[in-house]
Structures are given as C-alpha cells and as structure tokens.
Amino acid sequence: MSVDLDKYFARIGWDGGRAPTLDTLRSLQHAHVLGIPFENIDVVVGTVPSLDLSDLEAKLVAGSRGGYCFEQNTLFADVLEQLGYGVTRYTGRVRVGARPGEIRPRTHLVLGIEVPGGIEAPGGGPQGSGGRYLVDVGFGSTDALLEPLPMFPGLVREGRGRRHRLVLEEADGPAPVWVLQAARSEDAWTELVAFTLDAAPLPDIGVANWHVSTHPRSPFRRLFVQRTHVDGHLALDGTTLTRTARDGTVTVEQVDGPEALRELLESEFGITPPPGVRPER
C-alpha cells in the first residue's frame, strides 16, 4: 500500500508540480513541517505508534493528529518515492542535551534523498547527474530543518531563517559519522543528530520505534507536542508551553488541567487527542 497523494497534499495545503525536482522537494518539506504537528500522544497513553502506511495515512493524513520522527519520516519517504525520488533511510543518535562522550541509541530517523538532474554544489551550480540531500520532517524543534540540506560536509546553508551544516567525525569503525548541526547564534553550533550512511532496513526502524515508545527511561514517555508556523513555533513539554516568535521572543506559560490541555491541543496545535491524555509534570 502507498499513501493517497491527493489526500496527503490536501492535508498539508500543497498544490505544486509533481516532478521530482529540488524545488518540489523544498516546497513539500516546508509544507509538511507547517501542516503536520510533531507529537507523541500515543506513547503517553500507552500505545506503540504503528508505522504501517495505512495507519499513518489514517492518523496523520485523514485524522487531526501528528506524529514523531518514525511516523513523519516514514510517511514522507513513501510520498517522495511515489514522486520519483530515491530515498535512503538512516537511523541516527540524537545529540541534543547529550553529555560529552555519551553514546545514545539510534532513536531518530532521517532521510537521504536523491534528486534527479543535479545537486547544488558548494560553488553554486549543479554537479554531476544527481545529488543527495538530507531531509528530516520529524525533528520538530526550533532547530529543525525546514528545507533539504545538500550533503556536502562543512557547507553552511540558510533555509527560511535557520542555518545548518553537516560535519564529518572520525569514527572508531569503518563508517564516518555525519553530524547535523544548527546555528543558534553567529558562531555557536548545536549538534542535533549523528548518523552513518548505512541504510536502515524497515525491521530495524520498527525495533527503534518500539524501543522509544516502551522503554521506561525513554524521554517520549512524557508529553511532547510541537508545531511550526510561518510566524513562530509552539512547544509543549509536559505542562510547560513555550511560544517562540519569529524574532526570537520567547514566552512561557503553564497548562492547568486536562480540559485546558485538550483545548490547547485542539485550538493551537490542530490536534484532536484520544481519551486519556493528561498534563504531567
């Protein structure tokens, strides 16, 4: 089964051309991030999110719901494959908040996308007969990618007000480690996720999804909901709601009680939550 493209495009409010070009990829990625919120409500209420495409379509496309990285990027990968892009799935280790030297499990999914016809080289022009971009519609935060990032180490790219780069690390094993970084200021780079270019088969992605949603120390056992808007960003962490305006202004407030939570999810995140969702500190 594949996702119904017409229904998906209607869900994210997108009506562009369907040729597998870089412009199409850029437009689609941005529309997806704006159109479908990041959330882990199923995990909080005790359910392992399904990665079956029919279930993803019912939840993220037909339903008023969002999802986390495994759901979002699995859905987006199918859409891109239908349009004619080459897609490679990579599992990565989230570096945000990690202690120096800490090795976290591979609990994040990112996509390597082959764009037919050329890639933007560091000098500005097309190079070769094809090119690979890093795409991720499932990170959710104010540092997340809003556009495809050319997979050239050290190349700094600004997309819709956010600056990113990929750097290569020396590795103990044979595979070099790619690290996605975001610039929070002119010279301060924050590491987001580290990955290798070993393709992740679907069974391995399923195991990582199960681990994240069931392990007692998984950070996703508490409520995380995020939504990116053209003029800012909303983030709910437990009972704390953070609003980040486009100019960087941040305001913080607390959500008091299950009724306030449900109203917030519906009115500001566009989510109709299932029964049993309660704010937990």
Query: For the packed helices 5-12 and 69-83, what is the interaxial angle rounded to 10 degrees?
Result: 120
Cβ partners under 8 Å of residue 208, min gap 6: 70, 91, 105, 106, 107, 109
Whether 211 is catalytic: no
* Beta bridge mates, 195: 92, 178
- Is residue 118 within 8 A of residue 126, CB to CB? The reply is yes
Question: Which residue out of 30, 32, 69, 78 is catalytically annotated?
Answer: 69
E strands in the chain: 38-39, 86-94, 108-116, 119-120, 126-127, 130-135, 149-150, 157-159, 162-169, 177-183, 189-195, 224-229, 232-237, 240-245, 250-254
Adjacency order of strands within the sheet including 177-183: 149-150, 130-135, 108-116, 86-94, 189-195, 177-183, 162-169, 157-159
* Beta bridge mates, 88: 112
Whether 136 is catalytic: yes
- Amino acid identity of 222? R
Name the 3-class secondary structure at 5.
helix
In the block, tokens 């971009």 appear at 133
- Is residue 132 within 8 A of residue 25, CB to CB? The reply is no
The structure tokens listed for 72 are: 């979002």
Question: Which residue out of 136, 143, 164, 233 is catalytically annotated?
Answer: 136
CA dihedral 91, 96, 101, 107 (to 10 degrees): -30
Question: Which residue out of 108, 143, 164, 233 is catalytically annotated?
Answer: 108
Whether 30 is catalytic: no
Active site residues: 69, 108, 136
